[in-house]
Amino acid sequence: MPLYVQIAERIARAILDGDLRPGERLPAGRDLARLAHTTPVTINQAFRRLREKGYVVSRVGSGTYVAGMATPTGPQEPVPDFIHLDRREPPPALFPTEVIRRIMDRILDEEGGEAFAYGEPGGYAALREVLLSRLIDEGFATANRDLVVFSGAQQALSLLLRSQVQPGDWVLVERPTYPGLLRLLERSGARVEAVDTSPEGPDPDEIEHVLRARPIRLFYAMPVYHNPTGFCWSAERQRQIARLCEERGVTLVEDDALSALDYGVGLQHPVSVNAPACRNVVHIRSFSLLLMPGFRLGFCLAPRDLANTLKRAKEQADLLSSGFFQRVLCRFISEGHLKRHLAVIEPYYRDLFHHALAAARTILEPAGFSISPPAGGPSLWCRLPEGTVPSAFLRACIRAGVGVRAGSDYAPNEAAADSIAVDFGRLPAHVLAAGFERLVAAAKE
């Protein structure tokens, strides 16, 4: 094995074992060359190999760092004039751009223009096989089910509602829930019923009551790292709710963005894994928070008849998702890059979550904010201090130089107006703490 490969593999192993932490600066090339009794050219080759595999990032004039969090550029970055506590997406420093670029180059070299030809409406066949294999490894039941690739989870939701919900139909959601889903429901003309969620998930008795009282067509839920509360349904509650939906002929749509990550409580499994015998579950998954938001690829696993309906709806909507990027994602997963990438970003997400939760308990709770206890994720759900007028608070936030998401966006009929969602996907710890201080100042005002 060439020496540069040996050095790269040694460093990669140290990263995976946790001996080198995300954001940690590697020794300078000359210093490492002396330690390894070789030349800086060999070290540069090793660093290039590590960059291609997504283990490290390099910054001109600063050095080479373990990927996984925004790389330091010297002194701590100043606190910006306006702090965005309204963004869930990861920072660009986490994007595996070097690996993606190499894969793209290889695809163009091997396939040329064929990589951009029309494909199947259901998705690039090789990618679908890779995704199905991954789901089977996770414990999904795939018999009599099919997988359809979409241009992100939002498109999957949009076409699902367009094909399954008519104006006047009832759709059940958690309270709070994803604002984008509420906007889609409003455009579809559906009527919305909501059930409160909790750290264990919604109350099955309350859901049963709603299903008896309303002819519910769909139940949209986020059982794993719910947006924005960070709750994870217990396995038993997942099974109870899935059985209730199946008995009543209700399609249970689970939206999953983060089940591949462990925030310190072990991997959390979706309903499709904990209740594999339930035939009415539609699993939707996105790669936006795991890879790059602009990648715009997601998929759903659905009963075969429904999957065929979604394929036809997709063909009418935009024919197909980018075949080129589907090829890129296929290789990224099949060549093991996704597994390595998750090993890099997981510590970043976990550390950021614990920083945010600790800061919220230190800064926000003493000021009267009530924090819903999350299991993980890039968001916190906070009830405002008693007596705070939500609209006045949001205006005060702008004056204080901090942006948050209004709770009224997360529930029908402004039922959660006394709360806010705090998103922190891309903020270093000191900026996050400063943002919380500004929230306190706004509440006092």
Q: What is the CATH number of the domain that holds 200?
A: 3.40.640.10
Domain tally for the chain? Answer: 3
The whole-number pLDDT of residue 319 equals: 63
358 and 315, same domain (yes or no): no
> What confidence category does residue 230 fall into, taking pLDDT thresholds of 50, 70 and 90?
very high
User: Are 162 and 60 part of one and the same domain?
Assistant: no
Q: Which of 307, 337, 367 is the last residue of a domain?
A: 337
Q: 250 lies in a domain?
A: yes
Is position 216 within any domain? Answer: yes
Residue 23, Cα to own-chain centre: how many angstroms?
A: 21
Please indicate, yes or no, whether residues 54 and 187 belong to a single structural domain of this protein.
Answer: no
Q: Cβ distance 279 to 252 under 8 Å?
A: no
Residues 51 and 124 in one domain: no
Residue 71 lies in a domain: no
Q: Is 418 helix (H, G, I), strand (E, B) or coil?
A: coil
Residue 384 near residue 369, CB atoms below 8 Å: yes
Give pLDDT, residue 76.
66
Determine the pLDDT at residue 61: 65
Question: Is residue 70 pLDDT above 50, yes or no?
Answer: no
Residue 362: pLDDT band by 50, 70, 90 thresholds? very high
User: In this prediction, what percent of the chain has a pLDDT beyond 70?
Assistant: 97
pLDDT digits (tens, 9 = 90+) for 117-160: 877 888 999 999 999 999 999 999 999 999 999 998 999 999 99
Last residue of a domain, one of 290, 305, 337: 337
Q: Which of these three, 337, 353, 371, is where a domain ends? A: 337
Specify if 72 maps to a domain: no
Tell whether 31 and 88 lie within a shared domain. Answer: no
Helix (H) or strand (E) holding 350: helix 337-359
The whole-number average pLDDT for the span 231-251 is 96
Amino acid 19: pLDDT: 84
Residue range 298-326: average pLDDT? 88
In a domain, 326, yes or no: yes
385 domain residue, yes or no: yes
Tokens of 245: 């939906």
- Residue 415 is assigned to a structural domain of this protein: yes
CATH code for position 365: 3.90.1150.10
pLDDT at 262 over 60: yes
What's the pLDDT score for residue 357?
A: 94
217 and 310 co-located in one domain: yes
**Is residue 371's pLDDT more than 50?**
yes
Q: What is the dihedral of CA 175, 176, 178, 184, to 10 degrees?
A: 50
Residue 12 lies in a domain: yes
Are 59 and 106 within one domain? Answer: no
- Pair 43, 88 in one domain: no
- Phi then psi for residue 287, to 5 deg, are -110, 10
For residue 355, the surrounding DSSP H or E stretch is helix 337-359
Which residue type is seen at 151?
A: S
Q: How far apart are CA 394 and CA 411, in angstroms?
A: 17
pLDDT of residue 203: 97
- Residue 399's domain comprises 83-94+340-444
Least-confidence region, from 73-82, 173-182, 185-194, 436-445: 73-82
Who wins on pLDDT, 216 or 28? 216
47 and 114 co-located in one domain:
no
pLDDT for 114: 84
Distance of CA 423 to the CA centre of its chain: 12
Report yes or no: 172 and 195 within 8 Å, Cβ to Cβ.
yes
Average pLDDT, rounded, for the chain: 91
